[in-house]
Amino acid sequence: MHDFAYRKGELHCEETPVSELVKKHGSPLYVYSQSTLEGHFRKLDEALSPLDHLICYAMKANSNLAVMRTLANIGSGFDIVSGGELKRVIAAGGDPKKCTFAGVGKTEEEIAFALRKGIYCFNVESEPELQRIDRVAGRLRKKAPIAVRVNPNVDAGTHAKITTGTYENKFGIPFEEIEGVYQRASKLKNIRLRGVQMHIGSQLTSVTPFEKAVTKAVSLVATLKERHALEFFSIGGGLGIIYNPALASGTAAWWKSPEAKDILTPQSYADRLIPLLKPLAMKIVLEPGRFIAGNAGILVTRVEYVKKTTQKNFVIVDAAMNDLIRPAFYDSFHEIVPLKKKSGKLIESDVVGPICESGDTFCKNRPMPTVKEGDHLAMLSAGAYGSVMSGTYNSRAMAAEVLVQGKRSAVVRARQKVEDIWATETLPKWIS
């Protein structure tokens, strides 16, 4: 669910016409809905209310300060993956005490910084990391709170680049080795064993893989809790969203299929996991990123050319893979709609950016309304892993970002000045 919809034939974000935002701020333009962000957080929070729980928004999905402040204001903690992200939490007014620190490559500086700021927990991905955290904590005369990331070896059945919970992946420690790791960790002087963590992948649209992983983990978690007085179990993030409503709305028969019953919603996720988790009597931590931000943002782009060849209808737009890399990187689907609703016949089109790479393609052979130069299109569900993954390839300045609340809107990141792209570059003396 989200707050982008046509009203009188005009795409609106909440009560604001998107075309007005583009007129004011230009394109390409990211537009975020504050009520969608809050709504997703609250739906999940409420569904899990029978459990003592903490939602740590995985800020790598969208770390704009305004997005983060919005979530911090309604009680969110943050799942971070770098020292830079912890600095961002602080800049956004978030609470380091509600931060979990994930990632396989934490540096000494990052560990020291996080210890000084008093984060909730380090999610440890290897024994060398454990030893490093112990060493740094000793130097700072602190006790480092940690959870070890269990790799449950459950296939999340998602795209290869975002599956993390099998032994093929670099993440976590194999299930069978965990008890030994906790045993050894309990002997380290500067380590405080605080929890257990797990994260099996991203964009999971069915509940079954979560259920399998949690079912597999609970008895191990219960044993570890007993032995080491652990207080929390983090079941990670990875809750998927619907990118292509055509797939989900299917036919009446489809809705009765087992596949449809397994569709992940906050309620189905909670209904099936709470009975497994409640008996643990632990705090349950979640790290959703995409679920909160994904459908809360769109990327608006201008049609520059329509190029017809004998084979194809290319719609060439002013956004490119440097602005939104997901289609090129993960073959992902984004719904693409005009800002002004069009009737008439659909024509199979490729929507492409201006970058000199064939991968700079947003969709292929997709039936779309006829558009012309100067029209604007919105790529939906671009709120997560959109702007944060953007770059300046082809010396393209990064897009502006706008947050909408009802009829109000504000620029929350100014369009980058093109000169700023090379502002830190210098010429060596010997080149005149």
Ligand X SMILES: *Cc1c(COP(=O)(O)O)cnc(C)c1O
Distances (CA, A) of 395 to 301, 316, 326, 412: 18, 18, 19, 22
34 three-state secondary structure: helix
What are residue 343's phi and psi, to 5 degrees? -110, -170
The catalytically annotated residue of 99, 121, 356, 363 is 356
Number of other residues whose CB lies within 10 A of the CB of residue 78: 30
Upstream peptide bond of 28 is cis (omega within 30 degrees of 0): yes
Q: Which residues pair with 151 in a beta bridge?
A: 174
Q: Which residues pair with 352 in a beta bridge?
A: 316, 361
Sites of contact with ligand X (CB under 6 A):
58, 60-61, 79, 102, 199, 202-203, 236-239, 287-291
**Is 56 considered catalytic here?**
no
In contact, 150 and 175? CB cutoff 8 Å: yes
Burial classification of residue 411, based on how many CB atoms lie within 10 Å of its CB (0-12 exposed, 13-18 middle, 19 or more buried): middle
Of the candidates 52, 53, 98, 51, the one whose C-alpha atom is nearest the C-alpha of residue 73 is: 98
| H or E stretch covering 83 | helix 83-91
Known catalytic residues are: 356
